[in-house]
Amino acid sequence: MAASDPRRVLASPVETVAAPGHARVAELVAEREAVLVVVGLPTSLSGRSESASAAMARAWAAALEPLVTVPVELVDERLTTVAATAQLRAAGRSAKQSRAVIDQAAAVALLQGYLDAAG
């Protein structure tokens, strides 16, 4: 999970939440006084077909909605894990060292992309 600063400029890692994690995410949303939850939507590179993973992400987001008082928005997460892995390697972390934080790094990449697009 990642969160942004109050000005919505910079995304930072929060924690890795074990699946399914709805209750913990709802707790973090309330603690941080979030105004929006962004959930990654796995999309094919062509963007045309919906995978089983995408259906699972939609179901996960739908299950979270009644637990939070803010909107839940699905956002294309294509290549966020690839980008996160590249950033961690560029920072000198091995694949083994990265395993523990790759989900957080991917969440940061997803949220930062969202923030940058929202401008």
Task: State pLDDT tens for residues 14-63.
Answer: 999 999 999 999 999 999 999 999 999 998 777 666 788 999 999 999 99
Of all residues in the chain, what percent carry a pLDDT higher than 90? 65
- pTM for the whole structure: 0.86
Per the prediction, the chain carries an average pLDDT of 91
Between residues 80 and 24, the one the model is more confident about: 24
Question: Residue by residue, what is the 3-state secondary structure of the chain?
Answer: CEEECCCCCCEEECCCCCCCCHHHHHHHHHHCCCCCEEEEECCCCCCCCCCHHHHHHHHHHHHHHHHCCCCEEEEECCCHHHHHHHHHHHCCCCHHHHCCCHHHHHHHHHHHHHHHHHC
For residue 47, the model assigns a pLDDT of 67
For residue 51, the model assigns a pLDDT of 86
For residue 12, the model assigns a pLDDT of 97
Average pLDDT over residues 71-93: 87
For residue 96, the model assigns a pLDDT of 81
Domain 2-118: which topology? Answer: Nucleotidyltransferase; domain 5 (3.30.420)
Instruction: Say how far apart CA 60 and CA 53 lie, in whole Å.
Output: 10
